[in-house]
Amino acid sequence: MDLREFIDKVKEMGELKVIEGAHWDSEIGAITCLAATVSDPPALLFDKVQDYKAGYRILAIPCSTDKRLALSLGFPKELSRLEMVKKMRDRLSEPLELVPPLEVEKGPILENIHIGDEVDLFEFPTPKWMSGDGGRYIGTGDTVIIKDPDEGWVNIGVHRIQIHDKSTATIMFEEGKHGDIIRRKYWAKGQNCPVAVTCGGDPQLVFVGATRIPWGVPEYDYTGWWKKEPVKVIKGPVTGLPIPAEAEIALEGEMVPPEVETIMEGPFSEGTGHYSPKAKESAFKVKSVLHRKDPIILAQLPFMGYGGVDKAWNQLFAAARLWSHLDKLVPGIRGVWEPPEFRRAVVISVEQKYGGHAKQVALAALGQHSYNRKYIIVVDDDIDPTNIRAVLFALAERADPAAWDVIRDSWCNHLHPQLSPWQREVGDITWSAALLMAVKPYYWIKDYPPLIKTDPAVWERVKEKWEKIFT
């Protein structure tokens, strides 16, 4: 499913809103934020952007409902959040049989080819998303394609991309991410790092690029396993890197070593709800631009309101992978979720079977992948971890703060505003993580007052008769 098929299906579902005539300078971002304030906001397709041709479009908040999140993953759209996590957990438990990409001679991405002096990054209606952003960001729902010079495998990641002039951009890599490790290998050899970027394409490839799969596993091959068919690619005319044949926009070029040229990147309206600080980034010299007729930029914005409106693929994947991991270590796991409304948290539902069970679950969760996890919340099996109101109820009514623990020096996200200036100066990218037990006391759990629930038969009868007045 390419991006256009996805958009057509979203339209069929009645969840697409076309916006015409908006300006690229902060207005598109403001409209997107406004949409994010409503319940179950539609996907937004911006067309006839001021100063640009009709047909050059931008798709924003593509997955702001559970139905569209399921669609983007190839799941039945009727699934609930927890059912999606279960389905993904089951899929991840299957043997990983990688399916390499299929190289083809032709594809829609080759409908327009600009090389050398023909390159103009301002051809596209790239938004300045928020007024405090340091510039225009063409890459948010992108894929960054880079090949390890020593091991030969192709890595794909999702990293923000800012354009600076007609043929120069920056790609922001966090230290320690696979792409950063690979580009430094080229620089250590005194070489520029070849890179290709797509700025709109198959949502499932973007999903895989945004997740954390093991070092050395090519994301193209992993996506082929996930889709059960190979990803069609063409050979980039400048870099030779594999580029999705049905992508909307592709940029090819080289990241030069920092000692050759750096550019001040940012700030950017990050998922922390704060602007990330400015920082020097290696210059990305763009040598070719490929694009389809009437191309579409895909925007998967990290911050669109405090409610976590855009359901993130990597949150779903992380919850499913953690659930699979916990199942191998401890019994009784009934659900796992990373709530978009409560970023940096993971919620785990467990049927307690022995003293210390909940604490064991929390410690195992932090040990599985500590990066960016600030709160590990454990609730009982009568609490749905995907229901943030139920989770807050458990924290309010069942949690004893005296039983909580704080783990210091845990791996942090370097974009987080909580990091002090001196931490950044010395490279201390750590914070404290909290283990929050919001469970019934195990040693008298059988005597704990029962949870208030409506009789199921009464509930169904009332829903059938009265639910329509609330919709």
Q: Are residues 388 and 275 in the same domain?
A: no
Q: For the residues 403-417, what does the mean pLDDT come to?
A: 80
Per mean pLDDT, which range of 263-277, 286-300, 379-393 is the poorest? 263-277
State how far the Cα of 129 lies from the Cα of 132, in Å rounded to an integer: 9
Total domain count for the chain? 2
Q: Are residues 177 and 289 in the same domain?
A: yes
Per mean pLDDT, which range of 362-366, 452-456, 457-461 is the poorest? 452-456
How does DSSP classify residue 128? B
Q: Are residues 290 and 388 in the same domain?
A: no
194-207 pLDDT, tens digit per residue, is: 999 999 999 889 98
- 151 inside domain: yes
Residue with tokens 């070849």: 194
As a three-state string, the secondary structure of 14-26 is CCEEEEECCCCEC
- 208 inside domain: yes
Q: Are residues 114 and 221 in the same domain?
A: yes
What is the identity of the amino acid at 114?
Answer: H
- 455 inside domain: yes
Between strands 262-265 and 405-411, the pairing is unpaired
Range of the domain at 450: 329-461
- 452 inside domain: yes
C-alpha 253: how far from chain center: 24
Q: Are residues 52 and 198 in the same domain?
A: yes
pLDDT band, very low/low/confident/very high, at 36 (cuts 50, 70, 90): confident
- 309 inside domain: no
Q: Are residues 294 and 335 in the same domain?
A: no
Residue with tokens 């750590």: 430
As a three-state string, the secondary structure of 335-375 is EEECCCCCCCEEEEEECCCCCCHHHHHHHHHHHHCCCCCCE
Between strands 296-298 and 57-60, the pairing is parallel
Q: Which residues contact 96 (CB under 8 A, 6 or more apart)?
A: 217, 222, 225
State how far the Cα of 121 lies from the Cα of 390, in Å rounded to an integer: 47
Q: Are residues 10 and 153 in the same domain?
A: yes
- E strands present in 217-256: 232-235, 242-244, 249-255
- CATH number, domain at 375? 3.40.1670.10
CA atoms within 13 A on the CB side of 39: 1
- Res 300: pLDDT: 85
Nearest CA-CA partner of 47 in 27, 26, 82, 20: 20
Structure tokens belonging to residue 252: 């090819």
State how far the Cα of 343 lies from the Cα of 340, in Å rounded to an integer: 6
- CATH number, domain at 87? 2.30.110.10
Q: Are residues 51 and 196 in the same domain?
A: yes
Question: Is the N-terminal amide bond of 267 cis, ω within 30° of 0?
Answer: yes
- Res 307: pLDDT: 46
How does DSSP classify residue 270? -
Q: Are residues 201 and 240 in the same domain?
A: yes
Q: Are residues 82 and 157 in the same domain?
A: yes
229-245 pLDDT, tens digit per residue, is: 999 999 999 999 999 99
For residues 234-270, one letter each, b for 16 or more C-beta atoms within 10 angstroms of the residue's C-beta and e for the rest, the string is: bebebbebbbbbbbbbbbbbbbbbeeeeebebbbbbb
Strand arrangement of the beta sheet that strand 430-438 belongs to: 333-337, 345-350, 375-380, 430-438, 405-411
Where among 256, 276, 298 does a domain terminate? 298
- 286 inside domain: yes
Where among 248, 283, 298 does a domain terminate? 298
- 470 inside domain: no
- 306 inside domain: no
- Res 382: pLDDT: 93
- Res 460: pLDDT: 84
Q: What is the mean pLDDT of the chain?
A: 90
Q: Are residues 272 and 223 in the same domain?
A: yes
